[in-house]
Amino acid sequence: MPFLELTLPCTEAQQTRYERALEDVGALAVTLADAHADAPDEQAIFEPGVGEMPLWNELTLTALFEEGTPPELLLHALSAIDEGLDWSRASFRDVADQDWERAWMDQYEPLQFGRRTWIVPWNHELPPGADAPDAAVVRLDPGLAFGSGTHPTTALCLQWLDTLADEGLLQGKRVLDFGCGSGILALAALKLGAAQAIGVDNDPQALLATADNAERNGVADRLVAHAPEAEPADTYPVVVANILASALVSLADTLAARVAPGGRIAMSGILAGQEDEVIARYAKDFESLQADRQEDWMRVTGVRRP
C-alpha cells in the first residue's frame, strides 16, 4: 500500500527526541541518513571508526505513516508532544509501496577489481569474465551495511587483495578485516584463496550483513565476525582496515599488534592529504609504506617489521 512520507532535518543532539515523538504519533518506520552524504569529508563516510557511534552531526530523518494520514493534524500532534522541536521544516509526499533496498539493488551492476575479483549482486547474472575458471566472484547483498564496492576506499582494498593473490601472498592465509561493513573484503579474500577470515565491526547490522553474505557465498564456515570487544587478540599475515584516518591513527598500536612479522596491511578510508599522518604513525612498525590514490581517497600499504 502507499504511505505518507515525512522528511525533516535535525541534529545528532535532537535525533532521539524527534524519533521518540514520531513513534508516539504512530510512525511505521523511522530512518536516518547523513544530511551531507555527498560531501567529501569524514562525516559523509558510512563506516565509523571501531568503537564510535555511527551517527553524523547533521541528519535527515524520514518517517513513514499510513496512507491518508492528514499532514496538518500530524504536525499538530507532533507539536503537542514536544513543543521544543521545530516541526516547521517538515516536508511531506506520498510514496508507493516498494522495497527500497531491492529497488536500489536492481540498479547495482557487477564490478571488476584487479585481474579476477568480481562483486556481483546476488540476483544478477554473471557478466562475461566473471565466469572464468579463476574468477573470484563475491555475491553480495549490501542492503544492511556499507560496502558494495562502489566507494573508492573499498575499491582500493579490493584491488590490493587481488594483487596479493596474484603474487601468491594470500593463498591459504588467515585474513583480518577490521571494520568489515558488509564483509565484502573478507569475502573477496576467501574467494581469492585465503583459508579463513575474521571480521570486526562495531555496528550490529554490519555483523548481521557479514554473516548473511558469508552464507550466501558458501563460506560461512570460514568467516567469523565479531564486535570489537569480542575480537580474539591474534596475529594475521594479512590485515585490511577500511575505516577512518582518525581511527587508523588512534588504533595504530592495536592494528600493528594484529599483523604478524612480515605480514601485509592495507588501510583505507583516508582522504587525500591525510596519508602522511597515517604513514608517520605506522612507520615504526612497518616498512615499504606506500600510498596510492583513487579520486579523493588514499590507500596506505606496508609490511610488518620483524
Binding residue ranges for S-adenosyl-L-methionine: 154, 179, 201, 242
H-helix or E-strand spanning residue 215? helix 204-216
The binding site comprises 154, 179, 201, 242
Nearest to 179 by CA among 50, 56, 46: 50
| Grid coordinates of 245 | 584516518
> Would you list the DSSP string of 94-132?
EE----HHHHHHHTPPPEEETTTEEEEETTSPPPTTTTS
CB 61 within 8 A of CB 35: no
By CB atoms closer than 10 A (0-12, 13-18, 19+), residue 62 is middle
Q: What secondary structure letter does DSSP report for 67? A: T
